[in-house]
């Protein structure tokens, strides 16, 4: 036997219920938008090193000389040299590099 329950609410009550249910989702969306808008286009070797637990000198070495990945393949960290000795690493390039290990 199937039973049905009928709940009667006013439009204002329904709106309040919906607002209450959707509020956490709205907060999460706002947080994600803030994270996206504050993410950087490119990182310095110091920032990359801090993020992944290596020194800036090691990051520069990964850029210039590479690092052995799984299977012994030498993988370099792709970076843009904005002026001699000053590098910037895009987040996508960092992710691609890290996925090799």
Q: Per-residue pLDDT tens for 24-41?
A: 988 888 777 766 655 678
The rounded percent of the chain whose pLDDT value lies above 70 is 94
Q: What is the pLDDT of residue 35?
A: 66
Q: What is the pTM of this model?
A: 0.61
Phi, psi of 81 (to 5 degrees): -90, 105
User: How many angstroms separate the CA atoms of 94 and 78, rounded?
Assistant: 7
Domain match, 81 and 50 both: yes
The answer to whether residue 77 is domain-embedded is yes
Both tokens assigned to 35: 């994270």
2 is a domain residue: no
Rounded (5°) CA angle 49-43-101 = 50
> The domain containing residue 25 runs over which residues?
8-39
Check whether 49 has a pLDDT greater than 80.
yes
Residue 62: inside a domain: yes
The number of distinct structural domains making up the chain is 2
Model pLDDT, residue 36? 64
49 and 94 within one domain? yes
Domain check: are 66 and 88 in the same one? yes
């Amino acid at each position: 036997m199937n039973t049905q329950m009928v709940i009667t609410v006013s439009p204002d009550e329904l709106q309040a219920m919906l607002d209450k249910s959707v509020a956490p989702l709205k907060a999460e969306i706002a947080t994600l938008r803030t994270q996206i808008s504050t993410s950087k286009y490119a990182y310095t070797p110091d920032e990359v090193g801090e993020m992944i637990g290596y020194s800036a000198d090691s990051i520069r070495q990964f850029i210039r000389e590479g690092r052995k990945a799984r299977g012994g393949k030498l993988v370099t960290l792709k970076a843009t040299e904005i002026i001699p000795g000053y590098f910037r690493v895009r987040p996508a390039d960092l992710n691609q590099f890290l996925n090799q290990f």
